[in-house]
Structure 1
Amino acid sequence: MQSYAKSHTGGGRERAIAEQPAPGAASNSDAGGEDEFRVDIERIRFSPYFSRLSAVTQVIPQAGSGTTVHNRLTHSLKVSAVARSIAVGLRDAPEATRNTVAELGGCDPVVVQAAASAHDLGHPPFGHLGEQVLDRVARGKLGLPDGFEGNAQTFRILTALDSSDATARGLNLTRAVRAAVLKYPWTRNEWRALPPQPAERLPRGVGADSASGALKFSAYSIDALEMADVRSVFPAIGQHQQTLECSVMDIADDIAYSVHDLDDFYRAGVLQYTSVSAELNGWLAAQNELAALDAAELHAGLAVRRPGYALEAAWRHTQTKDAWIADAEIFRESVERVTGDLVEGLLTLPYDGGLEADRAVAAFTRRWIDRLKGSIRVERTPNVRSGHVRLRSHAWHDVVVLKFVHTRFVLDRSDLAVYQRGQARVLEALADGFHLWLNDPSDAGRAPRRLLDSIEAATDEYRALRDNAPEYFAAVGATTSDADIARFGRSRAVVDYIASFTDAQAMSVAALVSGTSDNLWESGRSL
């Protein structure tokens, strides 16, 4: 059996390119694996893509909500802390668990910290709304078959768009860290050739309509060979499974997302006792009656927002997708637990910015973080919709309920929808503006230097993909003439460029390219 230490200092988890040590420094072969991984985390955290996250929306914008609202940077730092804590805890797990961890390639705390720090680098402006809009624009207007996806963009940043002193393209991270960001280790289009299957038989993130490609994926076709190389050094990990370090990062992301975002909504005054209590207590009081409703009756109740109906719909959706773990009795216990601690606890004290309210939300957050990160299980042969590292059943159901509160009482709000409609127009204006500009032969040469350099590099990447793996084009019926390759490179570069903006940069540049701003030299901005 491979030892825990050996799995982290050898076995192919080395960097893509060997680097010469500084005078007097230990060589890569002399340094311990953890030292190698610390180089990775430093490169990630010193990256401008990482700094940019401080000005990218997590769920709700900071403007008008105070500085306490999380952005992508603060979220990433908290995911990193939770992930490290889980990984350290595995070192003290029972011997059988430690043996399984070692057999599957190990779980280094620094690797999971690095992956957690990097996991949201690919998010475009405006949070998940920006991701959806940019995907639609990329496929519809720019003609990119695999569109845009935040996880795939993260992998692309780490391996191609960012740079280090060792390589002009990519941060030259170890394979362990690159593999640990592959939450959905497949491309969008590789699912198209497979026959349709029920969602419960597909990995989480693929979606029910696999014939149109996966909803979530971790590499574009242009980066598929890189992903295959990274995963090749983890022979014990199945084709569509995360590495252990990736599973830990993914769980930490779920924990932070479900708990810290509720912290935000409480502080911002978005979560209100009356509405949340009516929904959760309404479901608890009428669970049997709601379970007896047919689909039409449930839909009618949802349309008029009858208390308990939305939670019943969420539970049925959970049962359908995750029958392998969904349990009606445990789900009810989770609803009762969240109702008792969130509704009848935290929300009974309206947030006023005072010390008592701050202590209450801090205590709530700590209780739930400790509960969830202490409920970890390692499995040698997990369900297709799970990872090798997962939450135990009660904690898993807790997260389902916490995410429901998040979705129902924040994401579904009409005032947020109005705001997001405007944000969508900003991204559409950016795509339109740069697409038209780059297709204007008389003026394309005056486009921003960074964009022109990116076009050249992306075109070279597509040319190499055509030469080495033409099947990625054939899978979507794409032709590969020189003109097609140039178009793909240009479109991918536009998407890369727009995705690299902060929220404020996106709004400012959109106003410039659409002709609605005359602040040409504002803040010394350079495109």
Structure 2
Amino acid sequence: MLSYPRTHTGGGRDRTLTEPPTNGEDEFRVDVERIRFSPYFTRLSAVTQVIPQAGSGTIVHNRLTHSLKVSAVARSIAVGFRDANDSTRAIIRELGGCDPVVVQAAAAAHDLGHPPFGHLGEQVLDRVARNRLGLPDGFEGNAQTFRILTALDSCDATPRGLNLTKAVRAAVLKYPWTRNEWRALPPRPAEELPRGVGTDAASGALKFSAYSIDALEMADVLAVFPKIGQHQQTLECSVMDIADDIAYSVHDLDDFYRAGVLQYTSVSAELNGWLAAQSDLAALDDAELRVRRPGHSLEAAWRKVQQKDAWIADADAFRNSVERVTTDLVEGLLTIPYDGGLEADRAVSAFTRRWIDRLKGSIRVEREPNIRSGHVRLSRQAWHDVVVLKFVHTRFVLDRSDLAVYQRGQARVIEALADGFHTWLNDPADAARAPRRLLDSVEAATEEYRGLLDAAPEYFTAAGVGTGASDIVQLGQSRAVVDYIASFTDAQAMSVATLISGTSDNLWESGRSL
């Protein structure tokens, strides 16, 4: 089998602290096991992926099952590179290699930072962190993942972080920048911004992989990949990111079908409506597009794709993808109502396998990728396939009003937790009785901010925050509150929120601990 020797100093195996020899055991395999045995990994079984498991049994993915499937897809892609042509293998070697175990570890870890309640929880915790707790870089699930691996979790080798190899730490950096560094960069058109930054980079990136408090750690990790350009993922990270896209776009549709959320009539009307009236819809102004009219939402989605990703967007490829999804999903899978029987289970399993195999077989490796892409990407046609699958996901699940009502309640839970713990820590008469883990976290985060101020005060300038002693204490306290809330499962968040808001009369419930 072909392996990819690493060309950068340290081989990507440098750990923060030196450890005893592993008796020949591969160091990357040690990283995989540390991640899998982490309590942060275990908690993912009780964190929502998109729709809650409650009432749906085991048919709906949670963050843990999603992570396991991403890991399997990512490893399969990396192993497949061994059969690539000479040119592709040369690019892979030049860029630092693509070890299947590194990819597997990164995929297992990629969602560790997700807070309770899926992406809704992420958005609300970010807003609360910035607007109520005074954290300029707020909250971001990817940045929280990096923070868990490097500071919040622990192992026998170090009390702070898992002491993972640099290759694995770099492979989770899907958005290798901080939120605030974009404020100092010259404005660019949306099509010239990396995916995830957002359209208003002057106010900070929407997606990022490290908070300011962890920025030096990120820079140190990326320094061992000299062939990877600024704001680009490592090759192993690109594979993990692609695998996440594949699993997200396919397995989530699996969930929605099994849960009865995707309905033939509505999905068919939208996709077939666009196919039948494509020319007429293209002639409409943006203001004339109406969400409730068949085909209009898909036309609006296509225009956004053209605007942001003109480098790959293609009208014929998009139509081909709409036709393919219509044939296989709408006129195929959705014509078999899910009743839990063998026929329905076989149908959804076959649909999932076909699409995953198709997307895995459409991988491309590029030495000089577009700024909106990575070194590893999907082919043009497969890229459009994922766009259409994600559209179905967004239009017929995430935009549902019944889900919105449920999520508004979840948002109140996050807000209650943040307000409750922040108020508690600032109550001089009672702060000492706050949960021990939270108090320890406040102390550790405050020390981290002090260390950052000594080593790189420019991060405070970029964020526009003060550097006085009280400012540092407040930052440490706020970051600790966010870290604490983000570590809850869905059920823990709801239970603790009722306690701290005074709406529960159950003091000691079985198995609950702060």
Global fold match (TM > 0.5): yes
Task: Find 1:282's aligned residue among 243, 264, 273.
Answer: 273
Q: Separation in 2 of the partners of 1:477 and 1:253? A: 34
Tell me if the contact between 2:6 and 2:97 (Cα under 8 Å) persists in the aligned partners.
no
Q: Separation in 1 of the partners of 2:506 and 2:8? A: 52
Query: C-alpha deviations, 1:78-104, integer Å up to 9, x for none?
Result: 000000000000111001100100000
SS at match of 1:192: helix
**2:307 corresponds to 1:307:** no
**2:470 corresponds to 1:479:** no
Amino acid at match of 2:343: E
Query: C-alpha deviations, 1:57-92, integer Å up to 9, x for none?
Result: 000001122221000000000000000000000111
**Equivalent in the alignment of 2:18:** 18
Query: C-alpha deviations, 1:115-172, integer Å up to 9, x for none?
Result: 0000000000000000000000000000000000000000000000000000000000
**Equivalent in the alignment of 1:398:** 385
Query: C-alpha deviations, 1:319-373, integer Å up to 9, x for none?
Result: 0000000000010000000000000000000100000000000000000000001
**Equivalent in the alignment of 2:79:** 88
Q: CA deviation at 1:15?
A: 1.4
Q: Separation in 1 of the partners of 2:490 and 2:308? A: 34
Task: Find 1:447's aligned residue among 434, 437, 444.
Answer: 434
**Equivalent in the alignment of 2:330:** 343
**Equivalent in the alignment of 1:151:** 142
Identity of aligned residues (%): 85
**Equivalent in the alignment of 1:135:** 126
Amino acid at match of 1:169: R
Tell me if the contact between 2:286 and 2:300 (Cα under 8 Å) persists in the aligned partners.
no
Query: C-alpha deviations, 1:457-503, integer Å up to 9, x for none?
Result: 00000000000000000112211111110000000000000000000
Tell me if the contact between 1:56 and 1:125 (Cα under 8 Å) persists in the aligned partners.
yes
Q: CA deviation at 1:9?
A: 9.8
**Equivalent in the alignment of 2:496:** 509
Tell me if the contact between 1:8 and 1:106 (Cα under 8 Å) persists in the aligned partners.
no
Q: CA deviation at 1:194?
A: 1.9
Tell me if the contact between 1:161 and 1:169 (Cα under 8 Å) persists in the aligned partners.
yes
Task: Find 1:432's aligned residue among 399, 419, 422.
Answer: 419
**2:308 corresponds to 1:317:** no
Deviates more, 1:288-297 or 1:51-60: 288-297
**Equivalent in the alignment of 1:62:** 53
**Equivalent in the alignment of 2:207:** 216
Tell me if the contact between 1:145 and 1:476 (Cα under 8 Å) persists in the aligned partners.
yes
Deviates more, 1:287-296 or 1:405-414: 287-296
Amino acid at match of 2:234: T
- Pairs within 5 Å for 1:228-243: 228-243=219-234
- Pairs within 5 Å for 1:249-288: 249-288=240-279
Q: Separation in 1 of the partners of 2:210 and 2:68? A: 23
Q: Separation in 2 of the partners of 1:271 and 1:11? A: 47
Task: Find 1:360's aligned residue among 347, 355, 358.
Answer: 347
Amino acid at match of 1:351: Y
| TM-score relative to the length of structure 1 | 0.96
Deviates more, 1:397-406 or 1:191-200: 191-200
Q: Separation in 2 of the partners of 1:467 and 1:85? A: 44
Task: Find 1:194's aligned residue among 185, 188, 200.
Answer: 185
SS at match of 2:510: helix
Tell me if the contact between 2:6 and 2:96 (Cα under 8 Å) persists in the aligned partners.
no
Amino acid at match of 1:330: A
Query: C-alpha deviations, 1:38-57, integer Å up to 9, x for none?
Result: 00000000000000000000
Structure 2: segments with no counterpart, 5+ residues: none
Q: Separation in 1 of the partners of 2:8 and 2:509? A: 48
Tell me if the contact between 1:283 and 1:307 (Cα under 8 Å) persists in the aligned partners.
yes
Q: Separation in 2 of the partners of 1:374 and 1:170? A: 36
Q: Separation in 1 of the partners of 2:139 and 2:44? A: 18
Amino acid at match of 1:395: A
Amino acid at match of 1:414: S
Q: Separation in 2 of the partners of 1:370 and 1:476? A: 44
Tell me if the contact between 1:462 and 1:489 (Cα under 8 Å) persists in the aligned partners.
yes
> Aligned pair in 2 of structure 1 residues 80, 169: CA closer, same or farther (>3 Å)?
same
Q: CA deviation at 1:197?
A: 1.9
SS at match of 1:390: strand
How many residues are treated as equivalent by the alignment?
Answer: 513
SS at match of 2:467: coil
Q: Separation in 2 of the partners of 1:12 and 1:295? A: 49
Q: CA deviation at 1:11?
A: 3.0
Query: C-alpha deviations, 1:406-433, integer Å up to 9, x for none?
Result: 0000000000000000000000000010
Q: CA deviation at 1:257?
A: 0.1
Displaced runs of 4 or more, over 4 A: 6-10
Q: CA deviation at 1:526?
A: 1.6
Q: Separation in 2 of the partners of 1:524 and 1:401? A: 43
Amino acid at match of 1:361: V
Q: Separation in 2 of the partners of 1:9 and 1:484? A: 38
Q: CA deviation at 1:291?
A: 0.4
SS at match of 2:377: strand
SS at match of 1:385: coil
Query: C-alpha deviations, 1:248-268, integer Å up to 9, x for none?
Result: 000000000000000000000
Tell me if the contact between 2:111 and 2:145 (Cα under 8 Å) persists in the aligned partners.
yes
Tell me if the contact between 1:13 and 1:233 (Cα under 8 Å) persists in the aligned partners.
no
Q: Separation in 1 of the partners of 2:512 and 2:275? A: 54
Tell me if the contact between 1:255 and 1:369 (Cα under 8 Å) persists in the aligned partners.
yes
**Equivalent in the alignment of 2:161:** 170
Deviates more, 1:517-526 or 1:131-140: 517-526
Q: Separation in 2 of the partners of 1:235 and 1:213? A: 26
> Aligned pair in 2 of structure 1 residues 6, 192: CA closer, same or farther (>3 Å)?
closer
Query: C-alpha deviations, 1:202-239, integer Å up to 9, x for none?
Result: 00000000011000000000000000000000000001
Deviates more, 1:248-257 or 1:289-298: 289-298
| TM-score relative to the length of structure 2 | 0.98
> Aligned pair in 2 of structure 1 residues 524, 360: CA closer, same or farther (>3 Å)?
closer
Tell me if the contact between 1:8 and 1:108 (Cα under 8 Å) persists in the aligned partners.
no
SS at match of 2:364: strand
**Equivalent in the alignment of 2:34:** 43
Q: Separation in 2 of the partners of 1:484 and 1:112? A: 39
